[in-house]
Amino acid sequence: MSGLLAGKRVLVTGVLMESSIAFHAARLAQEQGAEVVLTGYGRLSLVERIAKRLPEPPPVIELDVQDQAQLDSLAERVRERLGADATLDGIVHSIAFAPQDAMGGGFLDTGWPSVATAVEVSAYSLKALAVACLPLIGERGAALVGIDFDAQLAWPAYDWMGVAKAALEATSRYLARDLGGRGIRCNLVAAGPVRTTAAKSIPGFDLFREVWEQRAPLGWDVTDSEPAARGVVGLLSDWFPKTTGEIVHVDGGVHAIGA
């Protein structure tokens, strides 16, 4: 099979609905020749149903990134599904969550438990996932790609999720430092706002849409996840062999444009 990811195996987290960036990353990865395995949390039956809409329905493995036992057993469970000698060439981190009181304009009132949850699930989990997958990385190394939302600025209503994304960006840089010797590249795709299931939980999402409508020189469609997914697949491929610790913006150019 030909394609950018021909002969590669890729683990994709965060596929919950067909609108998600992770879903389209999985679809494009398959179309580019990769064998894909998904992880899901909570509503596994929903993930399995969505997985059947991919070109080749992949196996689905349960993974709660706050459950150390599940992280510790991830490599073993992947090999149960893909084969005893299976290795991974790519890992897609598309996991984020913040309690409702951590977003929406009450930044000064949010307590530490909610902040801790947002940072653990949305940022620390990148490190946790990388370490869990280390036994699956072969001699040729791998690419770890996370989904980001640019954390250079303070955004309306994004609050502690914005702080968590800043932590995600820093975590990616430190992973790039510590995993480079194993041939593992760690990069992020900073996507523009996409109307996904996760976006529905962000108060004031329409404010983001308005910013992108006004400032994106290339234009932006909040219903189209494919541009960001293409960025993910590009970073998973061998076309970026010496790129790590990078944040690739797929946002129509908004990050570069002032008010």
CA 90/CA 111 separation, integer angstroms? 36
Judge whether 1 lies within some domain.
no
Measured between alpha carbons, how far is 159 from 101 in angstroms, rounded to an integer?
10
The pTM (predicted TM-score) of the whole model is: 0.96
Query: For residue 94, what pLDDT is reported?
Result: 97
**Which sequence positions are flagged as catalytic?**
158, 165
Q: Would 166 be classed as within a structural domain? A: yes
Range of the domain at 52: 9-256
- What CATH number has the domain bearing residue 130? 3.40.50.720
Q: Which amino acid is at 98?
A: A
Cα(38)–Cα(60) distance, integer angstroms: 5
First to last CA, the chain: 46
Residue 133 has pLDDT above 90, yes or no: yes
Range 80-84 average pLDDT: 94
- How many structural domains does the chain have? 1
Arithmetic mean of pLDDT, 36-53? 93
Q: How far apart are CA 31 and CA 188, in angstroms?
A: 21
Q: Is residue 245 part of a domain?
A: yes
pLDDT of residue 50: 95
When the pLDDT of each residue in the chain is averaged and rounded to a whole number, the result is 94
Which pLDDT score is estimated for 143? 98
